[in-house]
């Protein structure tokens, strides 16, 4: 039996790759940026806190040749367009986008203010929409790209400490991942999501009171918080050139809290 030869992909992976990470000034974004840089990619670390992003960039590349920090307000589409223009002038069209930035704000469900709900939902969902739209179009034009969106367990099980607005925004990110995956697949761009549960990160310790954290950990089947460096490894895997057959997927990293 002769196996048909699959059609060639629209484009080939640039070498080295050019990666853009949002929310890169600390936490998960910093882990992801370090991992992608270690893979040999040039990395643009973007964040509202440009100075903090630049400090990590200097740590990765003292001469600035392979890493740079840049201010980016992910709630603003024009800011994404400016960031794209900046990186294109500096290195070229990105081959990797990691939509990691998010606003986390604990809130009581029944007293959550409308303005807080709208701000968190718009920021977290809008950032992924704008990123996929602006950078995804540029990647499609070059015939190659890898987009990874950071969702959350909260968007799958309704959340706990993070509030209804955060949970709703992360559920929307999972849907946007499918929408853009379908739209961009034929043009060489994959779009996937990673859905972490509670990880050993500053934001978790800030959101969950110290006297309640032990109870949170006790409810995790594996009995511990997740390791953010493993999520960074997953991002690198989904961003690899040979990951072209994975798109529209959600990869769960939750210690057994949500099994499907």
Q: How much is the pLDDT for 160?
A: 66
- The percentage of the chain sitting over the pLDDT mark of 90, rounded to a whole number, equals 72
CATH code of the domain made up of 18-253: 3.40.50.720
Examine the pLDDT at 9 and tell me if it is beyond 70.
no
User: Residue 213: pLDDT band by 50, 70, 90 thresholds?
Assistant: confident
Q: How much is the pLDDT for 4?
A: 47
Listed in sequence order, the residues at least 6 apart from 111 whose beta carbon sits closer than 8 Å to its beta carbon are none
Q: What is the mean pLDDT of residues 219-226?
A: 91
Q: How much is the pLDDT for 7?
A: 44
Known catalytic membership, residue 166: yes
- 105 versus 227: the higher-pLDDT residue is 227
User: Counting Cβ atoms within 10 Å, is residue 73 exposed (0-12), middle (13-18) or buried (19+)?
Assistant: middle
Q: How much is the pLDDT for 161?
A: 65
Cβ atoms of residues 225 and 217 within 8 Å: yes
Residue 71's DSSP bridge partners are 47
Examine the pLDDT at 15 and tell me if it is beyond 80.
no
Q: What is the mean pLDDT of residues 6-19?
A: 72
Q: How much is the pLDDT for 254?
A: 93
User: Residue 103: pLDDT band by 50, 70, 90 thresholds?
Assistant: confident
Q: What is the mean pLDDT of residues 45-74?
A: 98
Examine the pLDDT at 176 and tell me if it is beyond 60.
yes
- 113 versus 148: the higher-pLDDT residue is 148
Q: How much is the pLDDT for 5?
A: 41
Examine the pLDDT at 234 and tell me if it is beyond 80.
yes
State the catalytic residue, choosing from 144, 166, 230, 258: 166
> 144-158, pLDDT tens digit by residue?
999 999 999 989 888
Examine the pLDDT at 209 and tell me if it is beyond 90.
no
Q: What is the mean pLDDT of residues 193-211?
A: 84
């Amino acid at each position: 039996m002769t196996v048909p030869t699959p059609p060639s992909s629209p484009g080939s992976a640039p070498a080295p790759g050019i990666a853009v990470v949002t929310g890169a000034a600390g936490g998960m974004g910093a882990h992801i940026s370090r991992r992608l840089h270690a893979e040999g990619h040039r990395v643009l670390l973007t964040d509202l806190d440009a100075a903090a992003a630049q400090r990590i960039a200097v740590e990765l590349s003292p001469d600035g040749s392979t890493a740079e920090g840049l201010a980016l307000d992910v709630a603003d589409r024009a800011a994404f367009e400016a960031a794209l223009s900046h990186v294109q002038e500096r290195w070229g069209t990105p081959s990797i986008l990691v939509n990691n930035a998010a606003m986390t704000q604990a809130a009581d469900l029944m007293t959550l203010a409308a303005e807080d709900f709208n701000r968190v939902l718009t920021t977290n969902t809008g950032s992924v929409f704008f990123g996929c739209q602006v950078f995804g179009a540029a990647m499609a034009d070059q015939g190659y790209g890898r987009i990874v969106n950071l969702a959350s367990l909260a968007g799958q099980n309704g959340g706990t400490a993070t509030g209804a607005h955060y949970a709703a925004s992360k559920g929307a990110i999972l849907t946007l991942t499918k929408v853009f995956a379908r739209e961009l697949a034929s043009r060489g761009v994959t779009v996937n999501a990673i859905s972490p549960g509670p990880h050993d990160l500053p934001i978790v310790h800030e959101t969950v009171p110290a006297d309640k954290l032990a109870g949170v950990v006790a409810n995790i089947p594996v009995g511990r918080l997740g390791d953010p460096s493993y999520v960074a490894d997953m991002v690198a895997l989904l961003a690899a050139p040979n990951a072209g057959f994975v798109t529209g997927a959600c990869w769960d990293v939750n210690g057994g809290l949500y099994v499907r």
